[in-house]
Structures are given as structure tokens and as C-alpha cells.
């Protein structure tokens, strides 16, 4: 079986779907790997490193399986052969046009986002591997932007109190942001609508922020949060505005799959913060958790620096690509039998991750996205 790896073309995308180390393992397992020239360059992997492990440089689109990071654009979809298999982040719940085009092109596509989050599939969980990078980088950005120290310092010139950091949303990215901010010495609090995360927050040395929202628990299917009602959201925002005012930095990561990010940090909350405080809004890509976030920009509003980063994993392409490649490798192991492509759609992981097949859109969430 030939696996092709194209060069990513989306603006700002520096990651590559396959790093030389994983290419080496795949070649040794009997696959043939073809890489588009320069595909790994932005992730600091020159073509020669791939050639050294037995991969070829050539057409990144003609293999039976094509592994990508970002969703393909229309031109790229046209380069995929009918019946070929595409693996990548495909945004199946929101990118209706891409999904439709993949079905029309007769491509069998698998979205990394749609891999069921079950124990057996943990090694394929690219949402988690990339969110780990985002959470880490978000804490570093907050520390870098803050005109104060994160740790407590006792110096000859006096004692410096540690920074107070609030992390909103304690999923994979939020937990990594908590851990990173703690390592830098900040005093960290965190809030989530899923009460199951209280213990995880505390195990990282942070405090779970209790808000008297009258909310039982907002955990929905698959361990994700459900969308709060309008009334619950309004109450949450009011209570948070008071707590946010006490913070030096807020790192917000709250998300509900397939929906715009919930608004948690109002203009009033920003106004309550001290001048020089920082907000890093990881939800900027889906509209932002903060009312004043400008996606892709760093702005100062009411004296507060608000950072709205896009595609943070691309800011650390070496490790982000390594982790992603291992996720792809694990998924490929399910798809390949003795060096040949063999797709078992009775397997719940492949069935769950499949978005288009035989000209049809087979994923329920993607069907809704296309209908919308």
C-alpha cells in the first residue's frame, strides 16, 4: 500500500502528518511512503531525513491513503483519486462544503476529530495530542504577556506575590494549561461545567472554582459538555465576572463540539481586571470565550491584553507533528493488514471516524452540517 503525504497549504500551517521517525516504522512494516517535496520542512524535517528511512519524494496525493493535517481545499480534493482514502482533521461538524466535495469526489474520508474517545482509541486521539500543545503554549503566552512574575519570589528587593491564574474549561487543553502555569509557579484556579474534572484539577495542584450556579452537572455524551441554557449562561457570566476581576491572567479553553464557543468573559469582566492583566482565549478559533477577543490578534482593551491565538499547535510544529504522526500511525494499524489496505467498517473506531464513503456522507454530525 502506498501512503502519500502532501505539503500542507493552509495559511500558517507548519505541521506535517508524518515525521521521519514514524515514516521509518511504516516503511519497516511494509508500507511504501511517498512525500511531497518540502512537506516536513516547516516542522524542521528536511526531505533527506525521510529518504534516509526509505520514503520517496514525489506526488503527495496519489497514494491509496493520503494523510494530511488540515482539511483539503477544493483544488486538493480534485487531486484525490476516486476510492482513495483521506485521513486528517476534516472539521466534519462545521465544514459542510468540504464534506460534500469529498463525497462527490468518491473519497473515503476519516476525520481525526471523529475518532471515538474510547480507551482502545486513545493512541489515535489527535484532538487530545494537539490540545496538549495548545494548553502548554497558552500558559507560556500568558506568562510572557503578563508584566509580572508568575512565581512567588523572595529577593533582596522584597517579596513578589505569585500570579493568580484562572483556567476556564478543564478539558485536555485546560488541564495542560493548569499544569504548565503551576510549573511556572502561579496560583491556579480552574472552572468547568463538568463536575467530574474537580478531582483532576486538584490533582494538578490547582483549586476548583465553585460557582453557585445551581447547576447539577453539564456532562453530556462522550464526556463532552452540553450546551448550557441561556439562563444558566447568563448566571455563569455574572458570577465569573467577579472572580475574573481578581485574576492576573485568564486562560479560556471552553468548547462545546460543533458549536460556537460559549461566551464566558464579558466586557464587564475585562473591566474588572487590573491594568496589565492578560486573557489568552484558546477558543478564538470558534468565536472566543471572551466578548472582546479578536481572533488571530493581540489587542489591549480596558488596559487588559487579550490574545486570540489561532492554530497554536502550529506554533510548536516539531512535537505537534510527532504526536499527530503517532496518532495517524495507530489509525493506519487498524486499516492495514499485511501491507494491504483493508477497511473493516464493523470496527467502531473506523465506523465512527468515517465521514464519506462510496459517494455518500455517512457521519451523522457531518450530514447535519451539510444540511445546514
Query: Which residues carry out catalysis?
Result: 117, 122, 125, 128, 224
- Contact call for residue 224 and ligand NAD (CB under 6 A): yes
Q: Which of 254, 284, 290, 307 binds ligand NAD (CB under 6 A)?
A: 254
Instruction: Tell me how far apart the alpha carbons of residues 252 and 81 are, in angstroms, rounded to a whole number.
Output: 41
H-assigned helices in the chain: 20-28, 47-52, 74-79, 96-104, 126-145, 172-183, 198-203, 230-244, 267-272, 317-335, 348-353, 364-371
- Contact call for residue 316 and ligand NAD (CB under 6 A): no
Q: Which of 194, 237, 326, 363 binds ligand NAD (CB under 6 A)?
A: 194
In the bound complex, what is the minimum distance in angstroms from residue 311's beta carbon to ligand NAD?
15
In the bound complex, what is the minimum distance in angstroms from residue 305's beta carbon to ligand NAD?
22
Q: Which of 55, 193, 304, 341 binds ligand NAD (CB under 6 A)?
A: 193
- Contact call for residue 354 and ligand NAD (CB under 6 A): no
Q: For ligand NAD, give the closer residue by CB, 170 or 354.
A: 170
Which is nearest to 213 in space by CA: 199, 189, 195?
Answer: 195
Neighbours of 235 (CB within 10 A): 17
Neighbours of 195 (CB within 10 A): 14
In the bound complex, what is the minimum distance in angstroms from residue 19's beta carbon to ligand NAD?
22
> CB-based contacts of 176: which residues, under 8 Å, 6+ apart?
131, 132, 134, 135, 136, 139
Q: For ligand NAD, give the closer residue by CB, 169 or 313.
A: 169
- Contact call for residue 204 and ligand NAD (CB under 6 A): no
Task: Kindly tell me the burial class for residue 156, based on how many C-beta atoms sit within 10 Å of its own C-beta (0-12, 13-18, 19 or more).
Answer: exposed
Q: For ligand NAD, give the closer residue by CB, 101 or 282.
A: 282
Which is nearest to 321 in space by CA: 310, 329, 332?
Answer: 329
- Contact call for residue 256 and ligand NAD (CB under 6 A): yes
Q: Which of 69, 255, 290, 350 binds ligand NAD (CB under 6 A)?
A: 255
In the bound complex, what is the minimum distance in angstroms from residue 347's beta carbon to ligand NAD?
16
Site for ligand NAD in 159-178 (CB under 6 A): 168-174
DSSP SS3 for 300: strand
Instruction: Tell me how far apart the alpha carbons of residues 211 and 234 are, in angstroms, rounded to a whole number.
Output: 13
- Contact call for residue 181 and ligand NAD (CB under 6 A): no
Site for ligand NAD in 85-144 (CB under 6 A): 117, 122, 125, 127-128, 131
Sheet of strand 298-301: strand arrangement: 207-208, 187-191, 164-168, 249-252, 278-281, 304-307, 298-301
Q: For ligand NAD, give the closer residue by CB, 264 or 355.
A: 264
Instruction: Tell me how far apart the alpha carbons of residues 20 and 50 are, in angstroms, rounded to a whole number.
Output: 5
Q: Which of 96, 262, 309, 317 binds ligand NAD (CB under 6 A)?
A: 262
Q: Which of 206, 225, 269, 278 binds ligand NAD (CB under 6 A)?
A: 225
Q: Which of 228, 310, 343, 362 binds ligand NAD (CB under 6 A)?
A: 228
Grid cell digits, residue 364 = 451523522
- What is the contact surface with ligand NAD in residues (CB under 6 A)? 117, 122, 125, 127-128, 131, 168-174, 191-194, 223-225, 228, 253-257, 262, 264
Amino acid at each position: 500500500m502506498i501512503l502519500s503525504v502532501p505539503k500542507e497549504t493552509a495559511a500558517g500551517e507548519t505541521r506535517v502528518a508524518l515525521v521521519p521517525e514514524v515514516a521509518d516504522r511504516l516503511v519497516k512494516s511494509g508500507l511504501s511512503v511517498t512525500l511531497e517535496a518540502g512537506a516536513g520542512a516547516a516542522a524542521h524535517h528536511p526531505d533527506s531525513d525521510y529518504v534516509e528511512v526509505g520514503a520517496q519524494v514525489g506526488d503527495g496525493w496519489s497514494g491509496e491513503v493520503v494523510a494530511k493535517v488540515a482539511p483539503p481545499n477544493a483544488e486538493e480534493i480534485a487531486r484525490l483519486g476516486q476510492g482513495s482514502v483521506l485521513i486528517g482533521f476534516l472539521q466534519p461538524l462545521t465544514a459542510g462544503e468540504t464534506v460534500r466535495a469529498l463525497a462527490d469526489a468518491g473519497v473515503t474520508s476519516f476525520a481525526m476529530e471523529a475518532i471515538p474517545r474510547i480507551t482502545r482509541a486513545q493512541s489515535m486521539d489527535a484532538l487530545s495530542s494537539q490540545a496538549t500543545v495548545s494548553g502548554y503554549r497558552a500558559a507560556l503566552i500568558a506568562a510572557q504577556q503578563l508584566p509580572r512574575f508568575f512565581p512567588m519570589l523572595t529577593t533582596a528587593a522584597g517579596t513578589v506575590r505569585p500570579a493568580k491564574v484562572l483556567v476556564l474549561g478543564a478539558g485536555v487543553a485546560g488541564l495542560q494549561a493548569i499544569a504548565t502555569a503551576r510549573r511556572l509557579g502561579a496560583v491556579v484556579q480552574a472552572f468547568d461545567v463538568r463536575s467530574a474534572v474537580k478531582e483532576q484539577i486538584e490533582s494538578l495542584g490547582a483549586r476548583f472554582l465553585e460557582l453557585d450556579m445551581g447547576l447539577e452537572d453539564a456532562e453530556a455524551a462522550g464526556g463532552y459538555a452540553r450546551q448550557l441554557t441561556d439562563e444558566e449562561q447568563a448566571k455563569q457570566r455574572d458570577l465569573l465576572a467577579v472572580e475574573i476581576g481578581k485574576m492576573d491572567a485568564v486562560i479560556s479553553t471552553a468548547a462545546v463540539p460543533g458549536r460556537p464557543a460559549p461566551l464566558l468573559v464579558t466586557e464587564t469582566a475585562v473591566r474588572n481586571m487590573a491594568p496589565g492583566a492578560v486573557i489568552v482565549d484558546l477558543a478564538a478559533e470558534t468565536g472566543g470565550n471572551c466578548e472582546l477577543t479578536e481572533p488571530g490578534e493581540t489587542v489591549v482593551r480596558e488596559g487588559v491584553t487579550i490574545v486570540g491565538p489561532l492554530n497554536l499547535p502550529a506554533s510548536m510544529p516539531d512535537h505537534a507533528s510527532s504526536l499527530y504522526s503517532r496518532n495517524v500511525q495507530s489509525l493506519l494499524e487498524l486499516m492495514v493488514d499485511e501491507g494491504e489496505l483493508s477497511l473493516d467498517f464493523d470496527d467502531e473506531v473506523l465506523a465512527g471516524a468515517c465521514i464519506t464513503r462510496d459517494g455518500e456522507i455517512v457521519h451523522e454530525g457531518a450530514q447535519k452540517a451539510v444540511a445546514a
